[in-house]
Amino acid sequence: MFARLVKESFVRNPRRKLLTAAALVVGMAVTTATLTIALEVGDRLAREFRSLGANLLVTPESDTLPVEIGGVDYRPVDEGAYLKEADLGKLKTIFWRHNIFGFTPFLDVPASASDQQDKSPAPVTLVGTWYEHNVPVPDGTTFKTGVRVTHPWWKIEGRWFADDADECVLGAAFAGRVPGIRPGRTIYVREQGVDGKTAATVTPLMVTGIVSADDAEDKAILVPLSVAQRISGHVGEFRQLFVSALTKPADALAERGERAQYDKNIQLTPTEYDRWFCSPYISSISYQIKTVLPGTDVHAIRRVAETEGRVLDRVGTLLWLVTLAALVAAALAVAATSATTVLERQAEIGVMKALGASNALVNGIFLAEQVLLAIIGGVIGFIAGTALARILGTSVFGSPASPRLILLPIVLALAAIVAIAGSLLPLRRAAHFEPALILRGG
């Protein structure tokens, strides 16, 4: 009988349910969408921050002091320490290997260059690097990385050099000083030795493009790493490694974990250590890199890392507050409309009561209706909200936010609670109705 009453109410007068149902669908859709986005935004924004480029710098530990002005190392090539290119694949074996977004080795070689073979050459720095290089990883796979990932703001006119080919890309400022140079021409380079003497071997390199880096590289010639290694005689070696890693904003634990590495007074408990090691903090990732590349110094590029941490923290809090506001608005909307439905049906309540229904039965029928409505509205709202989150994710971050099934029970429970809460007050009032009065229309 009870079930039939509820069913009849839905079948007989679907229009009356429309407002509450619509409010439920919209409210729950917005709730689902905002929660989905809020859960994902940290990861997504962290990925966006990689457009700032590398946030870790790896250098040889026992290195002499780099004499570097604006990114170009003026140290003679025979001075200082080097790192082994063959070890780089190990970066993709650390605990947080999937957070290693990309890395690029650099080898600067003092050289001289001229645009004609017999012309007197001018001093210039050759910067050996990768544009897109397949790095063999010890587990048998390869990882494609290079300045395309770690220096995404570099703009090229023409095309990049092919890996291992005798080609080069000129920095914009350098290209501006060479009259008539353009992609397709050849540049002749020689190594500049320790004593300032130029080596006898001339290497012709075909110019494939002109790069503007907005940094010291603009004054240099960029060549494939293997070419720089060959010219300098440091085969299989490089001097600096830029690593771009996805990280989590630093907190108190990250700070302690970092300091524990050089400050003997700070000791992490084993649980703290595990938590630190297993969180993608910049300090734990650099620690892990140091373990696979012994003899290196791994620094966080503080400018990038700290800005990222701060902005991510703030945007995260902000978004949770906005999500909270959305939840409140959704609850209010659903509550307000459910209250309306009950009020609308005073006459119905009057009839029920006149026929001898107790207040408990009336409440039961109405609440059962609301819960049913909440479940239907909640499910539709969840589906709509997931679709909405996909659209939002695509337009904000370029890829859809993944649906979270875990949100479905939460959304359903929320919908039911809000719908019941919204109808409780008017039902309490309805309990005091005199059936006769209502039926007469008073």
Residue 233 DSSP SS3: coil
Token pair recorded at residue 78: 């025979």
- The nearer residue to another protein, 45 or 410, going by C-beta atoms, is 45
Provide the minimum distance between the beta carbon of 119 and another protein in the complex, in angstroms, as a whole number: 8
Token pair recorded at residue 149: 């990932």
- The nearer residue to another protein, 69 or 405, going by C-beta atoms, is 69
Provide the minimum distance between the beta carbon of 118 and another protein in the complex, in angstroms, as a whole number: 13
Contacts of 397 (CB under 8 A, 6+ apart): 44, 47, 48
- The nearer residue to another protein, 171 or 224, going by C-beta atoms, is 171
- The nearer residue to another protein, 2 or 74, going by C-beta atoms, is 74
Q: Are 183 and 158 in contact (CB under 8 A)?
A: yes
Which class for 355: exposed (0-12), middle (13-18), buried (19 or more C-beta within 10 A)?
A: exposed
- The nearer residue to another protein, 92 or 131, going by C-beta atoms, is 131
* Cα maximum dimension of the chain: 113
Q: Which of 245, 243, 247, 253 is nearest to 296 (CA)?
A: 243
Token pair recorded at residue 47: 């990925």
Provide the minimum distance between the beta carbon of 296 and another protein in the complex, in angstroms, as a whole number: 14
Provide the minimum distance between the beta carbon of 277 and another protein in the complex, in angstroms, as a whole number: 21
DSSP-derived pairing of the beta strands 167-171 and 203-212 = parallel
How many other C-beta atoms can be found within 10 angstroms of the C-beta atom of residue 308?
23
Q: Which of 98, 60, 390 is nearest to 241 (CA)?
A: 60
Provide the minimum distance between the beta carbon of 137 and another protein in the complex, in angstroms, as a whole number: 27
Provide the minimum distance between the beta carbon of 391 and another protein in the complex, in angstroms, as a whole number: 9
User: What is the C-alpha separation between 130 and 133, in angstroms, rounded?
Assistant: 6
- The nearer residue to another protein, 262 or 355, going by C-beta atoms, is 262
Provide the minimum distance between the beta carbon of 26 and another protein in the complex, in angstroms, as a whole number: 6
Provide the minimum distance between the beta carbon of 219 and another protein in the complex, in angstroms, as a whole number: 8
Provide the minimum distance between the beta carbon of 142 and another protein in the complex, in angstroms, as a whole number: 28
- The nearer residue to another protein, 66 or 280, going by C-beta atoms, is 66
Provide the minimum distance between the beta carbon of 2 and another protein in the complex, in angstroms, as a whole number: 26
Give me the residue label for tokens 């940094």: 215
Residue 96, H or E segment: none
Provide the minimum distance between the beta carbon of 213 and another protein in the complex, in angstroms, as a whole number: 8
User: What is the C-alpha separation between 243 and 301, in angstroms, rounded?
Assistant: 10
- The nearer residue to another protein, 42 or 89, going by C-beta atoms, is 42
- The nearer residue to another protein, 92 or 377, going by C-beta atoms, is 377
Residue 139 DSSP SS3: coil
Q: Could you say which DSSP state residue 65 is in?
A: P
Q: Are 53 and 153 in contact (CB under 8 A)?
A: yes
- The nearer residue to another protein, 45 or 357, going by C-beta atoms, is 45
As a whole number of Å, the CA-based R_g of the chain is: 33
Q: Could you say which DSSP state residue 162 is in?
A: P
Contacts of 264 (CB under 8 A, 6+ apart): none
- The nearer residue to another protein, 26 or 127, going by C-beta atoms, is 26
How many other C-beta atoms can be found within 10 angstroms of the C-beta atom of residue 262?
7
Provide the minimum distance between the beta carbon of 431 and another protein in the complex, in angstroms, as a whole number: 15
Sign of CA dihedral 91, 96, 100, 101: positive
- The nearer residue to another protein, 6 or 388, going by C-beta atoms, is 388
How many other C-beta atoms can be found within 10 angstroms of the C-beta atom of residue 85?
21
Q: Which of 69, 60, 106 is nearest to 299 (CA)?
A: 60
